[in-house]
């Protein structure tokens, strides 16, 4: 049976909001889509089968962390990450660019060599170049591959951001050459440029010249405000290729997602639903709940009466409050699954309302509530 080629189609528009489908040989991804984050090849506190039962159609895994542990060669021996972690759905791997920023104290950047790291685990030295990042992602055998970029922290230093854009474009070109041609997989370019419209447009223009299967917006959710993020999206939304998926990296809250969909974004990932769930915060259609709050000690009601999947509403707030106050891991597991499920319910409703032409009404109802 021939493998399906990677493709993307926009099937409906409602303003700038887009309904679409990404086709991969491992399955269809309905967009706008949210990707749960499995940094180490696992969604912390949840079985993958349960994650996919929420409606998740793709997950994200981390090139840098999997390169460190267990190592790309070990994963390759299993035939790739899908076999290693028992995942039947598509996987997107980021390139390690975010770690160049988040672990900046442990690396230095060389234009030709790449990022020269000291491992955060044992201090050993290694170099992550554009070519090496692609090589690792090929060994992981992910379905959507990201170019290596430099993701700078928020700054108003124009000269610094301009230099970063030039470096990211140069690395994107090298990543494209290293990726080669594979119609069954996708390579996404990453738009940088900080909060500067002209640099964002320069980055986008140069990436379009190189040619990618999708375009990600990087360098946001790194200290900028929501309004600053939306200003960047507004600045580039009319220039993004209409026929390619648009991925806003590392974003975000339900309100972030709604506002970004309104500006034409198709794909999202963020650690918030799982990280906050592990720390006692639940997302619901009535807003966020800090289950550690003492007012929930005697609350017999479920987190969200409307949730039908996994019988999540059979657990009272009182019981979950008890689990967190006694450091029982089940509490974190319940909220992790609840939050992933909520995010997928949110994406389902977004897609439904784009299709019906009522997205703006839906946005106005929930943008400031969630």
Domain boundaries, the chain: 7-270, 271-370
- Which one from 94, 149, 266, 304 is the annotated catalytic residue? 94
- Residues 232-257 have a mean pLDDT of 98
Active site residue 94: yes
Give 83's pLDDT tier (boundaries 50, 70, 90).
Answer: very high
Using pLDDT thresholds of 50, 70 and 90, give the confidence band for residue 307.
confident
Name the one residue in this structure whose structure tokens are 């009601």.
301
Closest CA to 192 of 202, 182, 183: 202
* pLDDT for 311: 82
Q: What is the pLDDT of residue 1?
A: 59
Place 100 in a pLDDT band, splitting at 50, 70 and 90: confident
Tokens of 224: 């900028």
Q: Is 110 a catalytic residue?
A: no
Q: Does domain 7-270 have CATH number 3.20.20.105?
A: yes
Residue 342 to residue 172: CA distance in whole angstroms: 35
Catalytic residue among 213, 256, 266, 269: 269
Question: What's the rounded mean pLDDT across residues 31-57?
Answer: 97
Both tokens assigned to 140: 């992981």
Give the pTM.
0.97
Query: pLDDT at residue 2 above 90?
Result: no
State the pLDDT confidence band at 3, using cuts at 50, 70 and 90.
confident
What number is the average pLDDT over the span 95-119?
91
Better-scored residue on pLDDT, 337 or 152: 337
């Amino acid at each position: 049976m021939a493998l399906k080629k990677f493709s993307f189609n926009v099937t409906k528009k409602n303003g700038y909001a887009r309904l679409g489908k990404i086709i991969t040989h491992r399955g269809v991804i309905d967009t706008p889509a949210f990707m749960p984050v499995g940094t180490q090849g696992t969604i912390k506190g949840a079985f993958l089968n349960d994650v996919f039962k929420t409606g998740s159609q793709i997950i994200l895994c981390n090139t840098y962390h999997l390169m460190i542990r267990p190592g790309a060669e070990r994963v390759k021996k299993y035939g790739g990450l899908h076999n290693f972690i028992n995942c039947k759905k598509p996987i997107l791997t980021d390139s390690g660019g975010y770690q160049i920023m988040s672990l900046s104290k442990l690396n230095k950047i060389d234009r030709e060599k790449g990022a020269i790291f000291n491992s955060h685990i044992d201090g050993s030295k290694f170099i992550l170049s554009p070519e090496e990042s692609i090589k690792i992602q090929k060994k992981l055998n992910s379905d959507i591959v990201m170019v290596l970029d430099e993701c700078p922290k928020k700054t108003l230093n124009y000269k610094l951001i301009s230099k970063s854009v030039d470096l990211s474009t140069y690395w994107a070109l090298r990543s494209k050459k290293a990726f080669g041609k594979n119609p069954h997989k996708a390579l996404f370019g990453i738009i940088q440029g900080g909060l500067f419209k002209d640099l964002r447009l320069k980055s986008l223009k140069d990436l379009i010249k190189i040619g990618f299967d999708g375009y990600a917006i990087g360098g946001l959710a790194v200290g900028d405000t929501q309004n600053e993020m939306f200003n960047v999206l507004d600045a580039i939304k009319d220039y993004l290729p209409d026929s390619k998926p648009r991925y806003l990296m590392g974003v975000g809250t339900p309100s972030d997602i709604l506002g970004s969909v309104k500006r034409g974004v198709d794909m999202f990932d963020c650690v918030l639903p799982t990280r906050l769930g592990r720390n006692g915060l639940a997302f619901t259609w009535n807003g966020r709940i800090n289950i550690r709050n003492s007012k929930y000690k005697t609350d017999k009601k479920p987190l969200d009466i409307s949730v039908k999947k996994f019988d999540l509403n059979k657990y009272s707030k009182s019981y979950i409050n008890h689990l967190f106050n006694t450091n029982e891991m089940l509490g974190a597991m319940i909220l992790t699954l609840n939050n992933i499920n909520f995010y997928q319910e949110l994406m389902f409703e977004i897609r439904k309302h784009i299709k019906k032409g009522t997205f703006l009404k839906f946005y106005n109802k929930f943008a400031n509530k969630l």
